[in-house]
């Protein structure tokens, strides 16, 4: 059950990242995926209010729910495109109305299996797969030779 649970966890995380990007584009408002590496949860939030009263609130939709990965799965690395690594704390992955993101790579581990979800910063493309074959490379563009 471990490997299928790992695939399901990375798939749900990737789905939430894709949905958050679409949500930001449709609403024409930035949103953030807050990832709590210590407690194994993630949720999409939006900023509400103005000035000093501006606060982050949980996005309330039927298809963007709080996610949680099982206790048997842990995060081995969270990396931003500029190379900053995190193993603990709350990390924020931003989605902008133009479809771009702050970008990140997150590796989920169960025993000896490791899967990775990559959110590309420029295109917003979300890629998932086995961590040994999925790499955090630059976005690819078709210039239409």
Question: Residue 109 and residue 142: Cα distance in Å, rounded?
Answer: 33
pLDDT in tens, 37-93: 999 999 999 877 666 666 778 887 887 889 999 999 999 999 999 999 999 999 999
Give the pLDDT band (50/70/90) at residue 142. very low
pLDDT number for residue 141: 46
Domain residue ranges in the chain: 2-130
Task: Say if residues 108 and 116 touch (Cβ distance below 8 Å).
Answer: yes
> Quick one: residue 129, left, alpha or beta (phi over 0 = left, psi -120 to 50 = alpha)?
left
**Distances in whole angstroms, Cα of residue 30 to Cα of each of 27, 70, 73, 77, 86:** 8, 29, 29, 25, 23
In degrees, to the nearest 5, what angle opens at C-alpha 65 toward C-alphas 60 and 120? Answer: 105
DSSP 86: E
Q: Which CATH architecture has domain 2-130?
A: 3-Layer(bab) Sandwich (3.55)
Q: Report the pLDDT value the prediction gives residue 130, as an integer from 0 to 100.
A: 84
Summarised one tens digit per residue, pLDDT across range 77-135 is: 999 999 999 999 999 999 999 999 999 999 999 988 999 999 999 999 999 988 777 66
Q: Rounded CA gap, 17 and 12, in Å?
A: 9
Indicate the pTM of the whole model: 0.85
Q: What is the mean pLDDT of the chain?
A: 87
All residues at 6 or more sequence positions from 122 whose CB lies less than 8 Å from its CB, including other chains: 100, 103, 139
């Amino acid at each position: 059950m471990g490997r299928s649970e790992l695939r399901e966890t990375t798939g749900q995380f990737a789905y939430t990242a894709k949905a958050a990007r679409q949500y930001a584009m449709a609403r024409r408002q930035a949103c953030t995926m807050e990832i709590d590496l210590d407690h194994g949860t993630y949720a999409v939030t939006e900023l509400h209010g103005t000035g000093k009263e501006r606060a982050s609130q949980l996005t309330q939709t039927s298809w963007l729910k709080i996610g949680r990965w099982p206790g048997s799965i842990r995060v081995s690395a969270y990396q931003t495109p500029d190379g900053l690594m995190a193993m603990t704390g709350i990390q924020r992955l931003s989605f902008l109305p133009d479809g771009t993101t702050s970008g990140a790579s997150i590796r989920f581990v169960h025993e000896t299996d490791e899967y990775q979800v990559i959110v590309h910063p420029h295109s917003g493309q979300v890629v998932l797969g086995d961590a040994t074959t999925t790499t955090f490379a630059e976005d690819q563009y078709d210039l239409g030779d």
